[in-house]
């Protein structure tokens, strides 16, 4: 009878783990590295905690399921400078290291950091996909270019944290405190922001999707689609070491991965629009009207850019005919349809700033007034008998036509003057109404 080698770890309630151990370790792939790991880690000095953590990840067969809940990791340097110099206890790869952005970072994929203290901890380039960081204290932590894809960050304190360039795609940031955090260059696509404390100043001047070069670099550095399976749980005794992209390991990209990356870059304006809409809802929950208007304006601006025919075929593939020649009527009809939407959005932006810029309506009104005054001076005959209209009469007549008041002593005689008076009257009334509507919309939100 073959004896089964059981895991030497313990469960969260203190009972012995009944799972089968890995072939090359004394513990299963998802539980603690050793029964006394938590006590050893809690009592260890700060200078030794990085080494103990790295060896615990190796002994656990990876970070998936490693229990670091309620542990104190404050003021630790867990960046590439520290973890790369740690040597394994036994011969083998450094499982606690991963490759990302041409650099190495700590591997915490799927780790349990519930209510852990990470105050001012250096976690640059760390991989924390699917990690449970709910309730953790990340005050002042450095998570520059960290990978937090689908991480659970509910109720976390990220006050003054550095999240620049971090991947927060599909992360759960519900009720997290992100005030004064640096999110410049971070990817917030489909992140949950319900009840999140966040302001416009943390986002930066623009999203990463708006800069084609930066987003291209980001996407192609992050195109390992198999990475998201790293924290999955295959049945033991299958080794999980081959699932980890270890530091220095070469990776071959197939055609599907390259196509997915290309589609991300082509549809970047739609992705930016979705992020701005999420930010708008987040700002509205906090009654930050100025930030809400900023997010709404940028969401409409990204939508306008996605409507241009050369972008629409990638941003809205379901509405664009596939595999049709350039001479196909369906192609031309789709092009005209999106061109109409794009031109309409351009007019909305130029005249009202999508309802957020009343000053633009006023500028259009004054510009129209100046143009009509010049045309009246050049072509209209106001019945003065001199044969030529002066600047004073042209200005007064233009004011009367635009406001709809008119002046009895200034009446156009020729057909050109009558035509200009009618057009200017319609233009003035329309833009006066548009200006008042935009101003009222701005005042109502304020």
Last residue of a domain, one of 351, 371, 397: 351
CATH of the domain at 396: 1.10.287.70
- Supply the pLDDT for residue 256: 61
> Are 310 and 267 in contact, with CB atoms under 8 Å apart?
no
Q: Is residue 97 part of a domain?
A: no
Last residue of a domain, one of 351, 367, 395: 351
Between CA 167 and CA 296 the distance in angstroms is 23
Q: Backbone dihedral region of 392: left (phi > 0), alpha (psi from -120 to 50 degrees) or beta?
A: alpha
Residue count of the chain, please give it: 446
- Please give the helix or strand (H or E) that residue 98 lies within, else none: strand 97-100
- pLDDT tens series, the chain, 446 aa: 334 566 655 554 556 666 566 555 555 544 444 445 667 677 777 778 888 888 888 777 778 778 888 888 888 888 877 887 787 776 667 777 765 434 567 888 888 899 999 999 999 988 888 899 999 999 999 999 898 989 999 999 999 999 999 999 999 999 999 999 999 999 999 999 999 999 999 998 899 999 988 888 888 775 443 443 333 333 333 333 333 444 444 445 555 667 777 888 888 999 999 999 999 999 999 999 999 999 999 999 999 999 999 899 888 988 888 766 767 788 888 899 999 999 999 999 999 999 888 999 999 999 999 999 999 888 888 876 555 678 888 898 888 888 888 776 778 888 888 899 899 999 999 999 999 988 888 887 66
Q: Is residue 402 part of a domain?
A: yes
The dihedral of CA 138, 140, 146, 148: what is its sign?
Answer: positive
Specify burial of residue 194 (Cβ count, 10 A radius: 0-12, 13-18, 19+).
Answer: middle
Q: Is residue 417 part of a domain?
A: yes
Specify burial of residue 395 (Cβ count, 10 A radius: 0-12, 13-18, 19+).
Answer: middle
Tokens representing residue 355 in the block:
């309802």
- Supply the pLDDT for residue 246: 43
Same domain for 435 and 396: yes
Same domain for 336 and 275: yes
Between CA 90 and CA 54 the distance in angstroms is 12
The residue segments making up the domain with residue 406 are 358-445
Q: Is residue 410 part of a domain?
A: yes
Last residue of a domain, one of 351, 383, 412: 351
Same domain for 315 and 279: yes
Same domain for 403 and 364: yes
Q: Is residue 13 part of a domain?
A: no
Same domain for 363 and 343: no
CB neighbourhood size of 263 (10 A): 14
Tell me if residue 52 falls in helix, strand or coil: helix
CA dihedral 433, 434, 437, 443 (to 10 degrees): -120
Same domain for 308 and 367: no
- Supply the pLDDT for residue 235: 37
Q: Is residue 220 part of a domain?
A: no
- Supply the pLDDT for residue 291: 94
3-state helix, strand, coil in the chain (%, to 5): 45, 10, 50
CB neighbourhood size of 292 (10 A): 21
In the chain, the N- to C-terminal Cα span, in Å, equals 78
Q: DSSP alpha helices (H): ranges in 162-208?
A: 200-203
Q: What's the domain count of the chain? A: 2
> Are 149 and 169 in contact, with CB atoms under 8 Å apart?
yes
Q: Is residue 244 part of a domain?
A: no
Q: Which residues of 22-53 are buried (b: 16+ CB within 10 A; e: fewer)?
A: beebebbbbbbbbbebbeebeeeeeeebbbbb
Between CA 99 and CA 102 the distance in angstroms is 6
Q: Is residue 294 part of a domain?
A: yes
- Supply the pLDDT for residue 236: 38
Same domain for 336 and 313: yes
Bridge partner list, 100: 103
Same domain for 382 and 441: yes
- Supply the pLDDT for residue 278: 96
Closest CA to 131 of 158, 165, 154: 154
Same domain for 345 and 374: no
Same domain for 346 and 279: yes
Same domain for 347 and 275: yes
> Are 411 and 382 in contact, with CB atoms under 8 Å apart?
yes
Between CA 60 and CA 22 the distance in angstroms is 9
- Supply the pLDDT for residue 27: 57
DSSP state for residue 210 in the 8-state scheme: G
């Amino acid at each position: 009878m073959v004896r089964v080698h059981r895991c030497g770890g313990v469960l969260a309630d203190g009972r012995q783990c009944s799972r089968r151990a890995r072939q090359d370790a004394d513990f299963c792939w998802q539980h603690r590295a050793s029964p006394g790991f938590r006590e050893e880690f809690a009592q260890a000095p700060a200078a030794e905690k990085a080494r103990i953590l790295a060896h615990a990840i190796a002994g656990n067969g990876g970070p998936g399921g490693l229990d670091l809940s309620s542990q104190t990791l404050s003021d630790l340097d867990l960046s590439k400078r520290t973890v790369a110099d740690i040597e394994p206890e036994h011969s083998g790869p450094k499982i606690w290291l991963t490759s990302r952005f041409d650099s190495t970072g700590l591997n915490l994929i799927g780790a349990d950091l519930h209510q852990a203290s990470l105050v001012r901890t250096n976690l640059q380039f760390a991989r924390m996909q699917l990690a449970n960081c709910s309730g953790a204290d990340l005050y002042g932590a450095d998570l520059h270019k960290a990978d937090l894809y689908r991480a659970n960050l509910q109720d976390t304190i990220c006050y003054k944290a550095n999240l620049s360039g971090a991947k927060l795609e599909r992360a759960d940031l519900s009720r997290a405190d992100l005030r004064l955090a640096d999110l410049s260059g971070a990817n917030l696509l489909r992140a949950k922001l319900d009840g999140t404390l966040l302001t416009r100043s943390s986002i930066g001047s623009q999203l990463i999707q708006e800069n084609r070069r930066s987003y291209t670099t980001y996407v192609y550095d992050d195109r390992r689609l198999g990475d998201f399976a790293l924290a999955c749980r295959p049945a033991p005794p299958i080794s999980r070491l081959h699932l980890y992209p270890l530091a220095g390991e070469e990776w071959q990209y197939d055609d599907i991965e390259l196509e997915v990356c290309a589609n991300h870059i082509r549809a970047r304006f739609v992705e930016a629009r979705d992020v701005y809409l999420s930010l708008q809802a987040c700002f509205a929950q906090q009654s930050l009207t100025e930030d809400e208007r900023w997010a709404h304006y940028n969401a409409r601006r990204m939508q306008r850019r996605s409507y241009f025919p050369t972008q629409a075929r990638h941003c809205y593939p379901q509405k664009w005919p596939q595999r049709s020649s350039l001479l196909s009527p369906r192609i031309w009809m789709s092009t005209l349809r999106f061109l109409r939407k794009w031109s309409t959005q351009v007019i909305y932006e130029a005249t009202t700033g999508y309802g957020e810029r009343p000053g633009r309506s006023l500028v259009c009104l004054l510009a129209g007034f100046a143009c009509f005054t010049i045309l009246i001076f050049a072509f209209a005959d106001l019945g003065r008998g001199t044969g030529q209209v002066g600047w004073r009469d042209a200005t007064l007549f233009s004011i009367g036509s635009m406001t709809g008041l008119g002046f009895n002593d200034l009446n156009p005689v020729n057909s050109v003057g009558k035509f200009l008076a009618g057009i200017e009257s319609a233009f003035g009334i329309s833009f006066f109404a548009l200006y008042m509507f935009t101003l009222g919309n701005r005042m109502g939100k304020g």
